[in-house]
């Protein structure tokens, strides 16, 4: 069964590589300020699905293979994400044995929760994400000889302030679109702008 499935996935991959990706456009960034939608993407598995899909359109089976989950589990998460407008079916492909494969892609390359507008009961899900984001930046700075002596409270505050700055900058990019898989340089630019906001507050 695993060999047959792997062969099918390989054949699907070959078909897609020979097809144009033109038209697979999405919003660069979307600020999420709705409580229920923000709660939905606080789930690590759903964030992992969104991360994979922003690179290229994938089927339910391909996502299951990438994440080590059952098709049923992935289907559950996909249905939630689709109903909430985070993802959409961007292509359908009929296999030789008559099964219609659906390819999913996100509606935005990057989703940023607006922790200031969310209830604390929801915003708290993002505190660990904010801290890890800052630790990554500080680690990168340390390799370049930057400041290293941050205390725990400093990291917490910086994580929260960076999250707010990212939302502020992201709102300036409302309506901007990118091709699937090509948004990373622009997201990096958003992060740089957010760090500049922290460095030079109004």
C-alpha span between 72 and 36 (Å, rounded)? 23
Residue 129: both structure tokens together: 């994400």
C-alpha span between 67 and 52 (Å, rounded)? 9
Burial of 38 (0-12, 13-18, 19+ CB in 10 A): buried
User: Measured between alpha carbons, how far is residue 113 from residues 19, 42, 125 in Å?
Assistant: 34, 9, 10
Residue 188: both structure tokens together: 């990096």
Specify the fold of 2-110.
Arc Repressor Mutant, subunit A (1.10.10)
Instruction: Kindly give the parts of the chain with pLDDT less than 70.
Output: 1-23, 144-153, 202
C-alpha span between 55 and 65 (Å, rounded)? 16
At residue 20, the pLDDT reads 39
Number of residues in the chain: 202
Residue 120: both structure tokens together: 């604390």
Task: Name 29's bridge partners.
Answer: 110
User: Measured between alpha carbons, how far is residue 116 from residues 2, 21, 121, 159 in Å?
Assistant: 46, 37, 12, 13
C-alpha span between 57 and 40 (Å, rounded)? 21
At residue 118, the pLDDT reads 96
What is the pTM for the complete model shown?
0.81
Domain residue ranges in the chain: 2-110, 112-199
At residue 5, the pLDDT reads 53
């Amino acid at each position: 069964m695993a060999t047959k499935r792997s062969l099918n996935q390989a054949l699907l991959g070959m078909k897609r590589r020979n097809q144009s990706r033109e038209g697979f456009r999405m919003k660069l960034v979307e600020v999420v300020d709705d409580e229920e939608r923000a709660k939905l993407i606080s789930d690590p598995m759903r964030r992992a699905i969104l991360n994979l899909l922003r690179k290229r359109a994938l089927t339910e089976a391909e996502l299951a293979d990438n994440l080590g989950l059952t098709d049923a589990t992935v289907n559950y998460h996909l249905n939630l994400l689709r109903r909430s407008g985070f993802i959409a079916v961007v292509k359908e492909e009929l296999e030789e044995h008559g099964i219609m494969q659906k390819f999913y892609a996100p509606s935005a390359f990057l989703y940023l929760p607006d922790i200031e507008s969310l209830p604390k009961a929801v915003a708290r899900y993002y505190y660990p994400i904010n801290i890890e984001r800052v630790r990554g930046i500080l680690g990168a700075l340390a390799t370049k000889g930057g400041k290293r002596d941050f205390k725990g409270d400093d990291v917490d505050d910086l994580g929260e302030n960076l999250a707010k700055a990212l939302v502020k900058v992201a709102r300036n990019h409302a309506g901007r679109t990118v091709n699937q898989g090509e948004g990373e340089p622009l997201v990096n630019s958003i992060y740089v702008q957010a760090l500049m906001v922290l460095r030079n507050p109004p």
